[in-house]
Chains A and B, each alone.
Chain A
């Protein structure tokens, strides 16, 4: 099945950046299905993943209608090439170690990433409630309730693991250190953000940094974790240039639609 190419419209790009971050984060969370430390949390993580998948579907459908080529949500989710995905690089990083030799992290990586992204999403949805794009505002209104819960759930875990045993503290701090370098990208503006702000679509990413920092800091303080030092590394997933992990996650996600185009069950 041939790949599709989305238009270069900055409006489409803006919606796809959010959609793809939801989609890829949902995919990574789904890898925990059947593997979480306890049954209750297994269900919780799957629920979070499904919430994000629902947000991705709504956003992809909207992007498809804006694009003018009538792509549907499935085509957008499964038939683009790597360079046409605009998710944050953090979302595509491995989040579960499937064997002793595979890359990825442990449960602490999952809860830390959930916190980092849930706060970022929550701030977006709050700001997007006033978007000039009515469909986007409606999606944000619904997603906000979900992100609030994701943030609360992740925060409770970060606090318990960070302020838990010596081992859980060390593992959670290590997970935070691994994730932190990718957070700079979350608040860097480019032409898409400038366009979004000028059109009243949504906020500059840089304008969310302070609120994000203070929400995350409050949780880290309670969890007795320390904020890792800033680095000069800047990831570029939301510009379409991804890390080495993106190709693998897409191969897994796209296999079925590529092999059996339009397949349904």
Chain B
């Protein structure tokens, strides 16, 4: 579903910044911009002006499909009592330290 954009208002963009090489891009906020190119520049100004990043992604907020907060119970609560889904019951050889 697309969020309706008010007339005369620029579309909303989600901003992802990679703090340094090797790390993943992390969502850090959103902003308004007329198009993708300007969104990148605005993201640089708003979210990376204090050396926070080495790479930026922007994507239209309208492209995000989000889970419904009303489905929260159904979606997430059943996991509460299923500790066996955590792989903590296995003895790991020392060589695979960082599983």
**Residues of A that sit less than 8 Å from B by CB:** 38-41, 43-44, 47, 152-153, 156, 160
A152 touches B41 (CB 8 A): yes
CA A43 to CA B10, docked complex, whole Å: 17
- A residues less than 8 Å from B31 (CB atoms): 40
Chain B, residues 22-56, CB within 8 Å of chain A (1/0): the string is 00000000011111011001100110010000000
CA A237 to CA B35, docked complex, whole Å: 38
B37 touches A40 (CB 8 A): no
**11 contacts across the A-B interface (CB closer than 8 A):** A40-B31, A40-B32, A40-B33, A40-B45, A40-B46, A44-B45, A47-B49, A152-B41, A153-B41, A156-B41, A160-B35
Closest to A38 in B: B32
- B residues less than 8 Å from A41 (CB atoms): 42
**Residues of B that sit less than 8 Å from A by CB:** 10, 31-35, 37-38, 41-42, 45-46, 49
CA A43 to CA B41, docked complex, whole Å: 11
B46 touches A156 (CB 8 A): no
- A residues less than 8 Å from B33 (CB atoms): 40
CA A40 to CA B42, docked complex, whole Å: 6
Closest to A152 in B: B41
Q: Given the known A-B contacts A38-B10, A38-B32, are A43 and B45 also in contact in the complex, defined by CB atoms under 8 Å?
A: yes
B45 touches A47 (CB 8 A): yes
- B residues less than 8 Å from A152 (CB atoms): 41
Q: Which of B31, B37, B41, B45 has the most CB of A within 10 A?
A: B45
Chain A: minimal CB distance from B16 (Å): 16
Chain A: minimal CB distance from B34 (Å): 6
The 10 closest A-B pairs by CB, nearest first: A40-B42, A44-B45, A43-B45, A40-B31, A47-B45, A43-B46, A153-B41, A47-B49, A40-B46, A156-B38
Closest to A46 in B: B45
CA A230 to CA B45, docked complex, whole Å: 36
CA A153 to CA B39, docked complex, whole Å: 11
- B residues less than 8 Å from A44 (CB atoms): 41-42, 45
Chain A: minimal CB distance from B56 (Å): 13
CA A160 to CA B32, docked complex, whole Å: 15
- B residues less than 8 Å from A40 (CB atoms): 31-33, 42, 45-46
Chain B: minimal CB distance from A32 (Å): 13
Closest to B38 in A: A156
- B residues less than 8 Å from A153 (CB atoms): 41
Chain A: minimal CB distance from B43 (Å): 9
CA A153 to CA B42, docked complex, whole Å: 9
> What 6 new A-B contacts, CB under 8 Å, besides A38-B10, A40-B45, A40-B46?
A40-B31, A153-B41, A156-B37, A156-B38, A156-B41, A160-B35
- A residues less than 8 Å from B34 (CB atoms): 160
